[in-house]
Amino acid sequence: MTIKKHLPNLVTLLNLFCGSVAVIFAVHNNFIAAALFVFLGVFFDFFDGLLARKLNVQSPLGVQLDSLADMVTSGLVPGIVMFKLMSIAVDTPLFFNATDEWNSELHWSGIGDSWLPLLGLLITLASAYRLAKFNIDEDQQSYFKGLPTPANALLIISLPLIMEFQNNDLMNSMILNKWVLIVLTLVSCYLLNSNIKLFALKFKDWSFKNNAVRYVFIILTLVLIVLLQFAAIPVVILFYILLSLLSKSLISK
């Protein structure tokens, strides 16, 4: 019984581990490896809740641990990635460079050029606020209020992947446009903490009647990924929001 009780928490810790590794890679500009570990972390984030429900071992500890893990994987990592992208967009060097010795003083360089990249960390702050609100909101059982942090993390982490694997000049110029990044950062912060109700991918049964919106979303997501590859991720997020609004409108009617 004890092992069964702690299995979901162990999976949650795997999410935190993946997020911690992703932070290391993101700081060192290895966005592909960072994205891989974010994807793994998001998988574990989905699986731990599913496992807890199936084993009927949900607990307040698991809820808090889940949010703490998400704060790293889906909060800190996308903030760092946006910081890095903005640094590239405005051609700003790192704020400081350390010497080879670990305890040497930091030598500040280029800090006067632009503080713009720090705006990327607003995503981390907005994610923390969103997760704190989620923990004390008892209404969000069958739906989400605002964009979930894992979805937002996938949106941000998709940007360097689009540049790396699709290498489209138009897409690259848009992604590395500082104004596009600023707007995306602000929109991301808003969506995380908005009151927009978005459906959750939680299946109480497998019938199409009770899960039509979920099945439509999953099928179209797979189609978009095949057609657009990594560029599908921003489109899927937009489609997710629009489908949630549409389904809410149909239900109210």
What pLDDT does residue 98 have?
44
Residue 225 within any structural domain of the chain: no
Residue 99, pLDDT score:
45
Q: Which two tokens stand for residue 104?
A: 């040497």
Residue-number span of the structural domain to which 183 is assigned: 2-97+113-203
Per-residue confidence (pLDDT) for residue 37, from 0 to 100: 97
Alpha-helix runs per DSSP H in the chain: 2-27, 31-55, 60-70, 77-89, 122-136, 149-165, 169-175, 178-192, 212-228, 232-252
Measured CA to CA, the distance from residue 224 to residue 195 in angstroms comes to 27
Residue 102 lies in a domain: no
Give domain status of residue 252, yes or no. Answer: no
User: How many domains does the structure of the chain reveal?
Assistant: 1
Measured CA to CA, the distance from residue 173 to residue 219 in angstroms comes to 30
Looking up residue 77, the CATH number of its domain turns out to be: 1.20.120.1760
- 215 within domain boundaries: no
Enumerate residue ranges in the chain where pLDDT < 50.
96-107, 110, 112, 250-253
Instruction: Please report whether residue 218 resides in a domain.
Output: no
Query: Whole-angstrom Cα distance, residue 215 to residue 184?
Result: 28
pTM to 2 decimal places: 0.86
pLDDT in tens, 99-116: 444 444 444 554 545 788
Spatial CB neighbours of 189, under 8 Å, sequence gap ≥ 6: 122, 123, 125, 126
